């Protein structure tokens, strides 16, 4: 909870402070123009990086591999797009940093081990040899049901 509170209060305060400082140095119109230019440039770069990531993911899937890195990069690109479309210099900086491929890879290498999901199937783990057998009967609805001979006849 404190992280999100800091995020939702701290980021806008940083953005306001940066707007005031940059606006004081450049003026109002150049500051607004800079925000618009960074958004347009960021969306163009985001589109290029997104197509590249999608192409790599498709080729990995065609090779029968799980595109985990590409999926994570796609999520990071989504976050980057949201940050770039949010007006502000701090969010634009973080958004542009997420567009750098080697930074995304480093972030993936740092985050991925924390999200590994370990599962157990009946064929692995400590009880691998003790799987249960269930018996049942099958009949086709179009075929007549045949009576089985009873073993307990007297």
Does 154 map to a domain?
no
User: Lowest mean pLDDT: which of 25-34, 42-51, 118-127?
Assistant: 118-127
**pTM of the predicted structure, to 2 decimals:** 0.67
pLDDT band at 2 (very low <50, low <70, confident <90, very high): confident
Does 50 map to a domain?
yes
Distances from the Cα of 139 to the Cα of 128, 133, 134, 144, 149, angstroms: 31, 19, 16, 9, 16
pLDDT tens digits, residue range 123-146?
Answer: 555 555 555 666 777 667 777 766
Alpha-carbon torsion, ordered 123, 124, 129, 135, to 10 deg: -20
Does 139 map to a domain?
no
- Our count of domains for the chain comes to 1
pLDDT tens digits, residue range 65-122?
Answer: 888 888 889 999 999 999 988 888 999 999 999 989 899 888 888 887 777 666 655 5
Does 18 map to a domain?
yes
Does 24 map to a domain?
yes
Does 72 map to a domain?
yes
Does 20 map to a domain?
yes
pLDDT at 140: 72
Does 145 map to a domain?
no
Which has more pLDDT, 129 or 2? 2
pLDDT at 1: 65
Domain containing 94: what range? 10-112
Q: Which of 52, 92, 54 is nearest to 71 (CA)?
A: 54
């Amino acid at each position: 909870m404190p992280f999100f509170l800091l995020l939702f209060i701290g980021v806008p305060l940083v953005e306001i402070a940066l707007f005031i400082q940059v606006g004081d140095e450049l003026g109002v119109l150049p500051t607004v123009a800079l925000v618009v230019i960074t958004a347009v440039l960021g969306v163009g770069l985001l589109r290029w990086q997104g197509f590249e990531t999608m192409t790599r993911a498709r080729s990995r899937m065609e090779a029968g591999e799980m595109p985990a890195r590409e999926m994570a990069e796609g999520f990071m690109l989504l976050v980057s797009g949201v940050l770039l479309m949010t007006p502000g210099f701090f969010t634009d900086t973080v958004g542009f940093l997420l567009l750098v491929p080697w930074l995304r890879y480093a972030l993936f290498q740092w985050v991925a081990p924390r999200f590994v999901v370990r599962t157990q199937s009946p064929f692995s783990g400590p009880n691998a040899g003790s799987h249960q057998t269930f018996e049942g009967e099958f009949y086709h609805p179009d075929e007549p049901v045949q009576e089985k001979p009873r073993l307990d006849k007297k």
